[in-house]
Chains A and B, each alone.
Chain A
Amino acid sequence: MRRLLIAIPYLWLLALFLVPFLIVLKISLSDTALAIPPYTPTIDLSEGWASFRAFLTGLDFENFVWLTEDDLYWKAYLSSLWIAASSTAITLVVGYPIAYAMARSPDEWRATLLMLVILPFWTSFLIRVYAWMGILAQEGLLNQLLLWTGIISEPLTILNTNTAVYIGIVYTYLPFMILPIYAALERMDDSLIEAATDLGCSRMSAFWLVTIPLSKNGIIAGCFLVFIPVIGEFVIPSLLGGSGTLMIGKVLWEEFFNNRDWPVASAVAVILLLILIVPIILFQRNEQRAREMDE
């Protein structure tokens, strides 16, 4: 009974999560071929051990070497990291005051505000990104508004630039930043701020010396929750970004669907995962520490 209970989800994840990932790893070491599937070598199970040896010798790091030689790839990685880092910073600056204001709201308001932050989660991501296309377009609402107020005389090109990508990222990932910061601030004992004031702090210095350090875990968690998924983001750069927007998720997609270069796409995926391991481990460590602080 217990064995069965363990076996079902375990085997499911092994078959549909771990094995596919090993396949990606394997294909990233293979060569492109004009065949179906479009790579060599493949394992022919009917030929047994000999085939397996031939298979092993057929693997090499050629694709990875290729990734370092063509500057498209490492530029895309760097650009993804840069866009993820700077949009995380913007999201923090936008999200912190909102989380702070929510935590300091009257009790009867807080549940409603929290629901309003969570509600967009349930709305289609694709639609939320799409909504900005009509606003940011050359003849879109933002340009109409700016022209009407006289701030600009020529419509700005925002859609299909990195600016639009930043706006899209901040917009769609804002709740991920707000929620952990709100949770940290909401848990904070108000008397700590009073104690700081009592000991001579102005409101500003109490904020920097007490509120910010005590919401540190929330800030770190929020930053990782934005940073990690943004690195591999595909929808936002492909809808809001332009030809100049280099993000690795988009590169992988195009490599796979447009160029049909499966081994290179797999190699791109493997490197992307290696890049992600560092922030994921840091994130886990932060969560661990936050839990220990609670106890």
Chain B
Amino acid sequence: MVNAAEFEPWSDPDAVPLIRFQNVTKRFGEFTAIDDLTIDIYEQEFFALLGPSGCGKTTLMRMLAGFEAPTSGTITLGGEDMANRPANKRPVNMMFQSYALFPHLTVRDNIAFGLKREGRDAAFIAARVDEMLKLTRLERFGARKPHQISGGQRQRVALARSLAKAPKLLLLDEPLGALDKKLRQDTQFELMEIQETTGTTFVIVTHDQEEAMTVASRVAVMNEGRIEQVDTPDRIYELPNSTYVADFIGEINLFPGTARRTDPPAPPDGTAPAAAKSESQPPANEAAGWLVSRLSPIFGEGADGKSGAPDGPALLPRPDGLEIDWAEGADPIVVSNATEGLDGGAVTFAIRPEKIAVSADRPDLPNAFQGKVIDIAYLGNVSTYHVELPTGQIVKAQTANTRRISARAFTWDDTVWIGWTDTAGVVLLR
């Protein structure tokens, strides 16, 4: 994964983006595929567009390649407006989902295709094709036709072909979708390596969140033509800004409820530093302060109709402790990493299964609930317990299988305790 300290142009205000979408809208008749979208992508990024099918991610990519024109808004590439540049004149190449390898040409001729259109001389083309074949480890297959090689090899030919012209920007449309799981994982690392060696900017479209998380320096989660969140994979996972993102990426437990401020916050042992840490805005993990800056503008709209936020955000010196009432008769969820001014507002508490501990006795944690194991999904390295609370809510809790399965502590219908710290989850406003 890209080290945040080394490569983070998006947090540098002076950095000039390679690609800039400004208020781009794309309509197909009545249907709005892209809705007033603005986004910057920087040089050498490995940028992932993630979303379910029909969310507009492919349209976005095809507009970059020049196969679709935006209905309104501008797309600039390296500072130049792309509006009147046809696809064949753009310094952009695309790797197609179907690979689109020319079946009548050999692997070599497929890779050389774009170079020949540039009118390069034969010696240059031959050298460049050899280089590409080597990069993608296809040296032995140059003379074959596409139907004479395996799916994984075809994928690499498609990659080599789109890289041969050394484009400023490479677009990858579901590049690994046709490969089986094992091959896909290997290829993900290959892609990252190639991206690093060539220094090309990659924009990848995928519906596979694991793939996006693995390869990308930043991920944009899309939904119905809009971008829900753009962030590094770890932040997308740990600090989703909406229930949509939280639910789309990985597994999550959601507790819709009402926030109630507790004054003063009463963090139990071991969790106090979390609140203090938040003031220095650390980059990762359960960074409460960061969340404050992210959520404040959102909160502005969210509170208007709901609660009116009586205290006003500015009055609070630091993130406050919250209790969330989520079900009749159940203990509230205690949170200490939420933003200010949530008092009385409708919120959703979200927590990942692996942040929830399962134990036989009541754990010494600010949040502890008793429930019954109704299902266990054994996945080899981890097990997911489905625990039904007395309220009827089913909570997923994940534990690493560090011991052999025969030594497992719980089984079906056991009564267990689940618990988590006051900083383990996030409070979401939408």
Contact = CB atoms under 8 A, between A and B. Distances in A.
A and B touch in the complex (CB under 8 A): yes
Interface of A: 189, 191-192, 194-202, 205, 209-210, 213-214, 216, 293
B88 A197 contact: yes
A197 B66 CA distance: 9
- Report, as a range, how many residues of chain B touch the other chain: 20 to 34
A192 to B, nearest CB: 5
A199 B104 contact: no
B101 to A, nearest CB: 8
A106 to B, nearest CB: 13
B96 A195 contact: yes
Contacts of B88: 197-202
Given A191-B96, A197-B87, A198-B87, A216 B117 contact: no
29 contacts: A192-B102, A194-B94, A194-B96, A194-B100, A195-B94, A195-B161, A197-B67, A197-B86, A198-B66, A198-B88, A198-B92, A198-B93, A198-B162, A199-B93, A199-B113, A199-B117, A199-B162, A200-B88, A200-B165, A201-B88, A201-B117, A202-B88, A209-B113, A210-B102, A213-B102, A214-B102, A214-B103, A214-B104, A293-B147
A197 B96 CA distance: 12
Name the 10 nearest CB pairs between A and B, nearest first: A199-B114, A200-B117, A195-B100, A191-B100, A213-B104, A197-B87, A191-B96, A197-B88, A198-B94, A192-B100
A279 B92 CA distance: 46
Given A200-B118, A205-B117, 4 more contacts: A196-B113, A200-B88, A214-B102, A293-B147
A191 B97 CA distance: 9
B65 interface: yes
B32 interface: no
**Chain A, interface SS category:** helix
A194 B87 contact: yes
A198 B89 CA distance: 8
Contacts of A197: 66-67, 86-88
Interface in B21-62: none
Nearest to B93: A198
B214 interface: no
A121 B12 CA distance: 70
A214 B146 CA distance: 14
Nearest to A193: B100
A44 to B, nearest CB: 61
A293 B100 CA distance: 16
Contacts of A210: 102
A191 B104 contact: no
B185 interface: no
B100 A200 contact: no
Contacts of A205: 117
